[in-house]
């Protein structure tokens, strides 16, 4: 099969022929029809993730068709249209038994713990636990855009943030994750504030449902959010993952508000300072959001099928595998206004 491979961190990816994956007894091999290009892939390419071992094939936001299964797989067969969470569970550890496969003690992640979906085929372990059937009305490109950013944002807004109709929700950073969060929060009835430093992304956020947009390069976002909400947001999400956005997200909350950290805190942004006096004095909650379990996809997929959610509107660029290999080293520059998806593995 053809795949995009890097031999060393921070070196160009090369398109080459490599061996096709062979399914383990509990695994499925998926013919990749589309794969998202995400900043998390860039972190892996940079060497920020200890799970990545060289040589490596990135890619964790995938959709495609099952082409082979192992002999213990019961729920899946060749020809089925599927997607997968970016973090896959083993099905038997304490976390998985408790329904939290997204933080499995023995997790696997295509594109991180194993070769990923910047390739014609990818193997997914524990297929009965991790594969998600795609409704016919959701195409592969849209499905691939869900895998990390949209699904993580859905769980962040709905489950971790416990967002209710009428809540003020602040979203810091309007890349793919942030725009997803804006759309989802608006769809569940929240009043959404989008914060970024790029005017084009703030305009995009307004089209996705943001009631208020704040240019953090011109205005103090903490003061602006508290002014717009008469005291602070009930829910605030750091969708970027920087020291500044994490701090601002916590500080803009009203009493007993909830901060949800979605953006990865890696490299120079690792271990950020936290305004703990505000956390204590205002009884704030700080929680993370790390993907979404396969069995939880059903509500999100129903909302997409019915048109309540339109993740397809967030897809700004459709590229080939060769183009993706050229784009990945530039992801720290946040190219494009939305989500980039590989739709041709050539």
In the chain, ranges of CATH 3.40.50.720 domains: 150-288
The H-or-E segment that residue 181 falls in is: helix 176-187
Integer angstrom CA distances of residue 66 from 112, 119, 335: 21, 14, 32
Do residues 151 and 292 make contact, with C-beta atoms less than 8 angstroms apart?
yes
User: Average per-residue pLDDT in the chain?
Assistant: 95
Right CATH number for 2-144+310-344 from 2.60.40.10, 2.40.10.340, 3.90.180.10, 3.60.150.10? 3.90.180.10
Kindly report the CATH class assigned to 150-288.
alpha beta
User: Is the separation of the CB atoms in 149 and 61 below 8 Å?
Assistant: yes
The token duo for 296 is 């939880």
pLDDT at position 338 is 77
- Angstrom distance (rounded) from CA 169 to CA 252: 10
Burial bucket for residue 318 (CB in 10 Å: 0-12, 13-18, 19+) = middle
Measured distance CA(42)–CA(10) in Å, rounded: 9
Structure tokens at 292: 């979404």
Q: What is the dihedral of CA 247, 248, 254, 256, to 10 degrees?
A: -30
pLDDT at 265: 86
The residues, any chain, with a CB within 8 Å of residue 193's CB and separated by 6 or more, are 168, 169, 170, 171, 210, 211, 212, 213, 214, 225, 228, 229, 233
Question: Which residues make up the CATH 3.90.180.10 domain(s) of the chain?
Answer: 2-144+310-344
Q: Which residues of the chain have pLDDT under 70?
A: 335-337
SS3 43: helix
Task: HSE, CB side, 13 Å, CA atoms: give it for residue 311.
Answer: 34
Report the candidate in 121, 135, 141 with the shortest Cα–Cα distance to residue 66.
121
pLDDT at residue 336, as a whole number: 67
């Amino acid at each position: 099969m053809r795949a995009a491979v890097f031999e060393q961190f921070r070196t160009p990816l090369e398109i080459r022929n490599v061996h096709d994956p062979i399914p383990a007894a509990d695994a499925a091999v998926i013919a990749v029809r589309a794969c998202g290009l995400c900043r998390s892939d860039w972190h892996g390419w940079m060497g920020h993730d200890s799970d990545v071992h060289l040589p490596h094939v990135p890619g964790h936001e995938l959709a495609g068709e099952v082409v082979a299964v192992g002999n213990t797989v019961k729920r899946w067969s060749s020809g089925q249209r599927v997607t997968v969470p970016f973090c896959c569970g083993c099905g038997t550890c304490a976390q998985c038994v408790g329904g939290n496969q997204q933080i499995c003690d023995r997790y696997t992640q295509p594109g991180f713990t194993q070769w990923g979906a910047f390739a014609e085929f990818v193997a997914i372990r524990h297929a009965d636990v991790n594969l998600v059937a795609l409704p016919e009305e959701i195409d592969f490109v849209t499905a691939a855009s869900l895998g990390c950013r949209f699904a993580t944002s859905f769980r962040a807004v709905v489950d971790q943030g416990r967002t209710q109709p009428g809540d003020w929700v602040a979203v810091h950073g309007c890349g793919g994750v942030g725009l997803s969060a804006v759309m989802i929060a608006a769809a569940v009835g929240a009043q959404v504030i989008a914060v970024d430093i790029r005017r084009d992304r703030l305009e995009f956020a307004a089209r996705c449902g943001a009631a208020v947009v704040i240019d953090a390069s011109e205005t103090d976002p903490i003061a602006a959010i508290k002014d717009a909400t008469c005291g602070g947001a009930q829910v605030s999400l750091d969708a970027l993952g920087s020291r500044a956005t994490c701090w601002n997200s916590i500080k803009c909350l009203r009493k007993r508000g909830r901060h949800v950290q979605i953006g990865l805190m890696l490299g120079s942004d690792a271990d950020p300072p936290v305004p703990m006096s505000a956390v204590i004095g205002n009884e704030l909650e700080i929680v993370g959001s790390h993907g979404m379990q396969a069995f939880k996809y059903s509500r999100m997929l129903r909302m997409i099928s019915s048109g309540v959610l339109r993740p397809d509107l967030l897809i700004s660029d459709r590229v080939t595998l060769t183009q993706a290999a050229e784009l990945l080293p530039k992801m720290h520059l946040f190219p494009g206004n939305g989500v980039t998806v590989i739709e041709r593995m050539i």
